[in-house]
Amino acid sequence: MIVFQAREMNKAFGDKEILKSVNLVLQEKERVGLVGVNGSGKTTLLRCLTGELPPDGGIVSMANLSSLGYLAQLPDQAENMTAWDAVMGSFSTLLEIRKQIRELEHQISLGGDNLDKLMNRYAQLTEKYELDNGYACENMARRIIYGLGFTDEQVKQPINKFSGGQRTRLNLGRLLALAPDILLLDEPTNHLDMASVEWLENYISTYSGAVLVVSHDRMFLNKVATRIVELNNGELYSYSGRSEEHTSE
């Protein structure tokens, strides 16, 4: 099933055409690597796909009820927030449901005439919480934040103590914790050590949604991508696996 697509996308800066009638399709659970020489327009394409940069022409569409995640579109976090709280913030919807469940448990313990209504609401919220893996969100946060190479001490540190590279890694963790249906990544292995790169390879390889990843690391792409698309002179070409035979997308 197609979950995301762009049709006839064009973008130029002055008289320089960056994207020339680009077509891109992402299937459900597909992992696509986007490659191209420096300056070919890979980041421009991602920005156009997310709507951060308006294209000059073309249509972008997404499957109903799907969510899209892109690092540059993450909201800023308070500088005094710890790394742990920043990643846990990606589970804000689940944490709010958890809070409502606790409040309902208290109200139910008090009894009263509206007990049936409270019990019904409690059953609805607990079912949603379980289906969305609410009981596992702390474990998921730990998996992500330690997988990306943070230490116990760093997990407790406020964001304002982090370097630029550490903040980039932290924001990658926040994005992974959001687990959008369509994940767009631009050079995600930057600022990662070898162990963290290997962890990210495994994480993306088993990701439940669709992934479009830009990377200069061909070894990384060979391990995670089910298909490669190449942006060359404004046009997009697609090929499977490590094949060198290009076909227009």
Structural tokens at position 36: 């191209």
End-to-end CA distance of the chain: 17
Phi, psi of 33 (to 5 degrees): -95, 130
Orientation angle between helical segments 92-110 and 115-131, nearest 10 degrees: 150
Residue numbers in the chain where pLDDT is lower than 50? 243-249
Residue 240 structure tokens: 């499977």
The residue among 182, 200, 221 whose CA lies nearest residue 6 is: 182
pTM of the predicted model as reported, rounded to 2 decimal places: 0.88
- Contacts of 59 by beta carbon, 8 Å cutoff, 6+ apart: 6, 7, 8, 9
Query: Which DSSP string corresponds to 81-148?
Result: SBHHHHHHGGGHHHHHHHHHHHHHHHHHHH--TTHHHHHHHHHHHHHHHHHTTGGGHHHHHHHHHHHT
State the pLDDT at residue 241.
61
